[in-house]
Structure 1
Amino acid sequence: MANPSKAKGTAWESQIVGYLRDHHNDAAHRNVQMGRLDIGDIDGYYLHALEAKAEKEIKLSSYIAQANREAAHAGQPFGCAVVKRRMKGVADGYVVRDVATDVRLLNRLRVMESALQSFAPEAYAELDRLHREAA
């Protein structure tokens, strides 16, 4: 690849996909770029359009604006940027979203957990225990 910056970005996207396949969704994959109607760099991050960024200078405001725009194009409720942390792997990268998006995500999580707790308290207790242990 002639453009070193593009190669770095492609490598970062591929690393994220590998991590997601191992820990989240084995169907995760890189998206084909679609210009002004882009739907994010990676598909398979539950409920999110994911914008991958591996740049020396971090520009959060533009990353978040891009991720939110691409979430709308992708029909996903949430957008986020996964930003590479220098000299670190994917697990040490940063998932970034604006506060409004994060509040919407947490409100959804709270409502869904409350519903599960009401309708299947034993299943809720077991899932809660498993996820607390994993933390």
Structure 2
Amino acid sequence: MANPNKTKGTQWESDVRDYLNTALGLVDGAGKYLDPFDSHNVRRPAQEGAADVGDVHAVPFVLECKDVKSPAVPTFLRQAEVEAVNAGFPYGVAVVKARRQNVRRGRVHFGVATWTRVRLAMGLSAPEFAKRYNFTPSLRGLDTRRWYLSTDVEAFGVLLADTRATRHAR
């Protein structure tokens, strides 16, 4: 019998991947890739070796997906950032399932440094970036390593498309 928690986690990863591929127009109505060789397809990579490369790759992001009752967001963010480096991607974020909600309402968490790097790469001010993608801050205590900014998967899909458009425009 399979581990039920692993099954739930795998399903969440697949749900996030499928939602983003659909939102970005990378799949047809049956969920098949329009171009299987397109590097922009959102994928769940095979895990190989000792260095984890994250749960979902959505160029230029590595997504660390979590389906847990009590999220430990700062820990998830540290894990996502390490996995982004392992995978050779510039950004790592954590995507946490929202209980009894559609995948669109899952929470996407950015560490402050990652949020700032993405914002600067897109040429946006902090207020513009926060408003455009519906970010809310979580500033817990004086330890800035525990601070993060969050949006939902739906807004992240828009941010992902805009990030890709910005990168191609340069």
TM-score of the superposed pair, with normalisation by structure 2: 0.61
1:81 is aligned, of 94, 99, 118, to: 94
**Number of residue pairs the alignment of both structures matches:** 111
Higher percent of residues as helix: 1
Distance 2:53 2:25 in 1: 18
Alignment pair present for 1:71 and 2:84 = yes
Q: Output the TM-score relative to the length of structure 1.
A: 0.76
Amino acid in structure 2 at the alignment position of 1:67: A
Aligned CA RMSD, in angstroms, stands at: 1.7
Give me the whole-angstrom Cα distance separating, in 2, the residues matched to 1:5 and 1:73. 25
Runs (5+) with no aligned partner, structure 1: 112-130
Please list every run of at least 4 consecutive aligned residues from structure 1 whose deviation after the TM superposition is greater than 3 angstroms. Answer: none
1 CA distance for matches of 2:11 and 2:48? 19
> Who is 2:11 aligned against?
11
Structure index of larger Rg: 1
3-state SS in 2 of match to 1:96: strand
Structure 2 CA distance, aligned partners of 1:25 and 1:46?
A: 15
Gapped runs of 5+ residues in structure 2?
A: 27-40, 125-161, 163-170
Give how far 1:41 is off.
0.5
Percent of residue pairs bearing the same amino acid type: 39
Using a 3 Å threshold, how does the CA distance of structure 1 residues 15 and 106 change in structure 2: closer, same or farther? same
User: Does the 8 Å contact 2:44/2:55 carry over to 1?
Assistant: yes
Alpha-carbon distance in 1 for matches of 2:63, 2:74:
15
Indicate whether 1:104 and 2:106 are aligned: no
Query: Given the superposition, is the C-alpha separation of residues 63 and 41 from structure 1 closer, same or farther in structure 2, using an over 3 Å criterion?
Result: same
